[in-house]
Amino acid sequence: MDMFIINALLLVAAVHLWLGLHQFKLNEQQKETILLIIFASAVIESIIGIMQFFGLYKYIPITPAPEVGMVGGAFQQKNLFASWMAIGLIISLYFITTDRFKNYHKKTKILFLLCVALLSLSLIIAGSRTGLLGTALAMAVILTSRVRHYLKKGAHGGSRVSPMLLAWLMVFFIGMAGGYFLLSVKDRLGIEKLAVKQIEWFSDIKQPSYVHRILMCKTSFEMLKERPIFGQGFSNFGSLYMYHQAKVIRSEPEYKKLIGDYISHPHNEIFRIMAESGIAGILAILIAVAGFIRMLYKLGLQRAGLYTAILMPLLVHMMFEYPLELSTSHYLVFLIFLYMATSHFVEEKRLNLRKSAGVLTIFISLIMYICVSGYTMKTFYDYMNMVIYSTEYEAFMSHSDIKNNNNRQFPSEINI
């Protein structure tokens, strides 16, 4: 019942926020500014990830202490980190075609391209198949749908690739090469052995992550088979998963070694809807997707391609995990991108509110802002303390003289 209430509130909040965003009639330049802010956040996240890779989180407590060898940024999860890098890269690929970017000073353009290199490097060292796949598909969509923006008329009337696109591709691949170089140094492998390892990492379907997802997929179908019309009920996936997983393992004993802990999500949004809502839920999703595609068709190829491309990293991520539940940032950005796509069809209608209603609205908004700001600052303070404690604890455990001492001390009391 608790999960039902939480998930229902999340869904209602998403719809309200999406509708609320439509109250702002943003022009194209303002939308570009929002995208640029998201790009800047990806760059900051990239720097945090690189600091983690080199172990600098031990000395700078603003960065979280991840698992050994993991690059997860502030998200502390590699797939969330990688999909955020992918979003930043696709935004940058769009932004170089805007008049705003073309009017930038040369030094600003160079700084922007250096940031692109950081993002592509971070994408590689994150080691996320989801991030790489989302980036590749999004790049294919935006380059093909907006090809006119990436071509420039030649001297003899033909077309040639824009110099700015060539510069973007150059720094993108330089960043990727730098990422693979860092991985080769970290793993002490030559380029050839690293290439073989990367190919196996992508193609070996016997890897635990692949096999676990296959098991979750089969379990979701088992849940659908039991109640095909309306499914198991909203938010009931987690409470019924272990029971139906046991039925799958009974019929396919090779999965017996994979029995694990409680799972609340099948790592695929479609499978979850299928298991919880059955055929009715699938039909509802198909209707929504058809309506969205119809809307994109009305926008034309170039705009449709842009919105599809910036949504692609998140959509791919949603097929292999549940980013909208794991990360508030992904949840918010997903709604912002949806708003940008649907805002072209909103008709403006002004409401003549009384002055008292306007004052009350401003007052309530101010109180909410103060509460959220206070909560955010408190959370940040607690988070910093957690990072400092984690760093001290790691140093405490790695200090052999202290670790073998029977008189245990709290990490902050030890002078290391």
Q: Is the model more confident about 181 or about 357?
A: 181
Taking only the tens place, the pLDDT of each residue in 299-354 is: 999 999 999 999 999 999 999 999 998 898 999 999 999 999 999 887 777 777 77
Give the model's pLDDT for residue 346: 78
Taking only the tens place, the pLDDT of each residue in 371-386 is: 888 888 887 788 777 7
| Alpha carbon distance 91, 32 (integer Å) | 9
Domain membership flag for residue 325: yes
What percentage of the chain has pLDDT greater than the value 90? 44
Beta carbons of 262 and 3 less than 8 angstroms apart:
no
Domain containing 164 equals: 27-218+252-345
Average pLDDT, the chain: 85
Domain membership flag for residue 259: yes
Domain membership flag for residue 148: yes
Domain membership flag for residue 197: yes
Q: What is the mean pLDDT of residues 130-151?
A: 93
Domain membership flag for residue 319: yes
| Alpha carbon distance 331, 324 (integer Å) | 4
The answer on pLDDT for 288 being more than 70 is: yes
Q: Is the model more confident about 262 or about 172?
A: 172
- What is the tally of structural domains in the chain? 1
Q: What is the mean pLDDT of residues 95-110?
A: 93
Domain membership flag for residue 184: yes
* Cβ neighbour number for residue 358 with a 10 Å cutoff: 10
Phi, psi of 151 (to 5 degrees): -115, 150
Token pair, residue 340, equals 């940008």
* Cβ neighbour number for residue 283 with a 10 Å cutoff: 11
Beta carbons of 96 and 152 less than 8 angstroms apart:
no
Give CA angle at 357 (332, 20), nearest 5°: 20
Domain membership flag for residue 291: yes
Q: Which helix (H) or strand (E) holds 6?
A: helix 2-21
Domain membership flag for residue 171: yes
Place of tokens 């209430």: 5
